Amino acid sequence: MEKIKLQYPVKIDEMTYTELTMRRSKVKDRLAVSVMKTTDEEKEINLFANLCEVSPQIIKELDETDYTKIQKVYMGFFGPAAISDEK
Please count the structural domains in the chain. Answer: 1
Q: What is the average pLDDT score of the chain?
A: 91
What is the pTM (predicted TM-score) of this model? Answer: 0.86
Average pLDDT over residues 13-37: 94
* pLDDT of the residue at 82: 54
Average pLDDT over residues 51-59: 97
Of 87, 85, 78, 86, residue with least CA distance to 24: 78
Domain that holds residue 52: 2-86
Average pLDDT over residues 62-67: 98
Average pLDDT over residues 66-82: 88
Residue 84's pLDDT band, with cuts at 50, 70 and 90, is: low
Going by C-beta distance under 8 Å and a sequence separation of 6 or more, which residues neighbour residue 81? none
